Amino acid sequence: MPKRGLYDMFSKLARAWKYLTSPQKRQFLVLRWQCLRRKRFIPLQNLRVNRFSFDVPDAPSFYWQCKEFFDRRAYDFQSANTIPVIYDCGANVGVSVAYFKSRYPSAKIRAFEPDPVVYDYLSRNLKRNNLLEDVMLYRAAVWLHDATISFSPDGADGGRVNYMKVGGGYRCAEYRPQAAIGFRISYRFFENGY
């Protein structure tokens, strides 16, 4: 067997060992099995991640959100302020809010979700997990213009703003947080659904 092949094999074994010996990693293996074997856009109830429980409209997209936030900690940040203000532009079903509240329990979070179906999941999940303290929910899109925008929901994590309206979608209220807080906000996560 070539050296590269041996390295790949041992690398996979080391990752598997880490997943089997860590309770949190085992939880992600179970979550992966629960979510990724399902077809898209089929609701699933009572999925557990850490101490949180979620109902979701689309299990595969939920798994990848949990992986990004809780396992990879891709959105982790350090704050000198123990009560940061967090604008969650595209809060989806609430995984991001749960993660930020677990990191900063006193954080003030403004969570935006324009998709009406997903917004209902968001509000139910946050209420169920007692995460509504210091959290304000908005069924609105965050955008750059002073006008109503056209948004096409997909009922999961793929909703998008229609730059050139061709048909479908609906008109959506827009919220401009930079006017409320006095500085420009980075919108780089909007297109990724976060």
Q: What pLDDT is recorded for position 123?
A: 97
User: Closest Cα partner for 112 from 185, 35, 60, 31?
Assistant: 185
Mean pLDDT of the chain, nearest integer: 81
Domain ranges of the chain: 79-192
- pLDDT value at 179 more than 60: no
The residue whose two tokens read 């954080």 is: 107
* Token pair recorded at residue 115: 């998709």
The SS3 assignment for 139 reads: coil
What's the pLDDT tens digit per position in 111-150?
999 899 999 999 999 999 999 999 999 988 877 766 667 7
Share of the chain above pLDDT 70, in %: 79
- pLDDT value at 40 more than 80: yes
In this prediction, residue 1 has a pLDDT band, given cuts at 50, 70 and 90, of: low
Q: What pLDDT is recorded for position 25?
A: 82
Report d(CA 41, CA 58) in Å as an integer.
4
Q: What pLDDT is recorded for position 23?
A: 81
What's the pLDDT tens digit per position in 93-102?
999 999 999 9
What's the pLDDT tens digit per position in 78-88?
988 889 999 99
pTM of the model: 0.78
What's the pLDDT tens digit per position in 46-63?
999 999 999 999 999 999
Q: Report which DSSP code applies to 91.
A: -
Q: What pLDDT is recorded for position 21?
A: 80
